[in-house]
Amino acid sequence: MTGVHSLLPEGQPGLLVSPVFGAEPYRGVEDLPAYLAVGGYAPLTMRDRLLDRIHAVGLRGRGGAGFPTAVKLRAVRDAPGRAVVVANGEEGEPGSVKDRWLLRHRPHLILDGLWLAAAMTGAERGFVYLSDARAEQAVRHALTERPTGLSVDVVRTDPAYVAGEETAVVRRIEGGPALPTAKPPRPFEAGIGGAPTLVANVETLARIAVMRACPDAAAAVAGAHLVTVSGSGGSTAALAEVPVGTHLKVLADLCGHGRAGAVLLGGLFGGLHGAGWSDLRLDHDRLRAAGGALGCGALHFLLPEDCPVAVATEAAGYLAAQSARQCGVCISGTGALAGSLAAMARGEADDAATDRLRRWSRELPGRGACGLLDAAARVVSTLLAHFPGRIAAHREATCPTCADPAPHDGRRFAVPVP
């Protein structure tokens, strides 16, 4: 069973529960007449004013990197050539459902945000990029209901960890494989057909649409995050909208993970965090300072009896299997990290092997064409930093969990879309 929660203060507009667009979390697909009645798709007369507002409140992209949205919009607007805009709804992290939920339930909010992004950048062409069949159906239907004047194509891809990376998005829309390319150039410099291209996460676009409709609440809208919360032991998973700075303990309690002993952050991108996890707050900068990352906002809680070595081995094995096998350092690096963790799980990693793993986790980040290698390295570095006792225990006795390793298919982290 999956729940949908809002922790936003009463009266604050949000994407799940909104006094502007609806009083209850959406269960079905949003209603176009109701959306129009509250100002949806209203013409944008002063595009620079909206862009300035986005800059002033510091809206950051919700795809994972947290890049300032206004900087990206201005770069695309100011680059030579006719801009293209893309709503990116391909969430490769197995533990995240927010983008598919938005596409399935709030397609007009996303299309409105895409249209606003086109207006701010001068784009005449847009794409919605996704992998989920139900999301595709909802978006195609919404397009027939409300043509925005922007030419929008829907492009479906096969789901994969790297398929939502911005250069992979451009490559797939151009008819190639959904695999990252070397940077530079980044899409905002030369993307689809060589045009400056804004690849924006669908939650980012949805927040732009709400900020336009509720200018007085822009700061609160920019500060709220959609997060997917899941945990081990078959516990309840949930989609929640929470203000920036929310204690992870509050989230864990709300979503039925109050007994958690550790958390895997950012999908697989933010690493494993043990003792002290409950003091962490949902905030890009604070989590980075703690050696983690918010990423796409997916959190997977572990029970005290869960084995962090087993979880890290499963995560690294999944990432190695998902490597696009384009960069030599990623092929050998993810394979080496996953293999060494598997040896650690079997109790076969001596001090020299552990030191080697620590060195790799420092040297490998930033050397692949995308963030997959960084994610695998962070899983390793945080395991080594936060769970030395649990690692040592694997050398002293057989770990019952690791003795029966799970398949590296990401199944442990997968969450059903509510």
Cα separation, 79 vs 90, in Å, equals 26
CB-nearer residue toward ligand SF4: 14 or 371: 371
- Counting contacts by CB under 6 A, is residue 169 touching ligand SF4? no
- Counting contacts by CB under 6 A, is residue 337 touching ligand SF4? no
Side-chain-side CA neighbours of 165 within 13 Å: the count stands at 22
- Counting contacts by CB under 6 A, is residue 326 touching ligand SF4? yes
First-to-final CA distance of the chain:
8
Q: Which residues of 113-135 are buried (b: 16+ CB within 10 A; e: fewer)?
A: bbbbbbbbbebebbbbbbbbeeb
For residue 24, give both structure tokens: 């209850």
CB-nearer residue toward ligand SF4: 166 or 241: 166
Among 103, 109, 150, 162, binds ligand SF4 (CB under 6 A): 162
Cα separation, 224 vs 246, in Å, equals 10
CB-nearer residue toward ligand SF4: 116 or 372: 372
CB-nearer residue toward ligand SF4: 64 or 180: 180
Cα separation, 92 vs 365, in Å, equals 19
Residues ≥6 apart with Cβ < 8 Å to 372: 161, 162, 319, 322, 323, 324, 330, 334
Among 372, 376, 379, 417, binds ligand SF4 (CB under 6 A): 372
Task: Count the neighbouring beta carbons within 10 Å of the beta carbon of residue 386.
Answer: 20
Min dist CB 330 to ligand SF4, Å, is 3
- Counting contacts by CB under 6 A, is residue 187 touching ligand SF4? no
Min dist CB 261 to ligand SF4, Å, is 31
Cα–Cα distance list, 174 to 192, 193, 319 (Å): 6, 7, 26
Min dist CB 191 to ligand SF4, Å, is 17
Of 35, 75, 41, which is closest to residue 55 (Cα–Cα)? 75
Cα separation, 132 vs 228, in Å, equals 17
CB-nearer residue toward ligand SF4: 120 or 162: 162
Among 85, 221, 238, 330, binds ligand SF4 (CB under 6 A): 330
CB-nearer residue toward ligand SF4: 157 or 235: 157
Among 49, 82, 325, 359, binds ligand SF4 (CB under 6 A): 325
Min dist CB 168 to ligand SF4, Å, is 8
Are 316 and 338 spatial neighbours (Cβ–Cβ below 8 Å)? yes
CB-nearer residue toward ligand SF4: 18 or 322: 322
Q: Is 35 exposed, middle or buried (0-12, 13-18, 19+ CB in 10 A)?
A: buried
**Rama region for 68: left / alpha / beta (φ>0; ψ in -120 to 50; rest):** beta
Among 40, 187, 368, 410, binds ligand SF4 (CB under 6 A): 368
Min dist CB 100 to ligand SF4, Å, is 22
Among 265, 290, 370, 391, binds ligand SF4 (CB under 6 A): 370
CB-nearer residue toward ligand SF4: 192 or 373: 373
Cα–Cα distance list, 368 to 55, 78, 133, 247, 324 (Å): 30, 29, 30, 32, 10
Which amino acid type is present at position 355?
D
Cα separation, 10 vs 13, in Å, equals 9
- Counting contacts by CB under 6 A, is residue 327 touching ligand SF4? yes
Cα separation, 5 vs 252, in Å, equals 12
- Counting contacts by CB under 6 A, is residue 292 touching ligand SF4? no
CB-nearer residue toward ligand SF4: 35 or 413: 413
- Counting contacts by CB under 6 A, is residue 373 touching ligand SF4? yes
The window from 99-107, 129-137, 238-246, 366-374 that contacts ligand SF4 (CB under 6 A) reads 366-374
CB-nearer residue toward ligand SF4: 63 or 180: 180
Segment 251 to 270, residues that bind ligand SF4, using CB under 6 A:
none
Min dist CB 66 to ligand SF4, Å, is 19
Min dist CB 340 to ligand SF4, Å, is 17
Strand order in the sheet with 84-88: 151-156, 125-130, 84-88, 197-201
The window from 23-31, 222-230, 323-331, 390-398 that contacts ligand SF4 (CB under 6 A) reads 323-331
Binding residues vs ligand SF4 (CB under 6 A): 162, 180, 323-327, 330, 368-370, 372-373
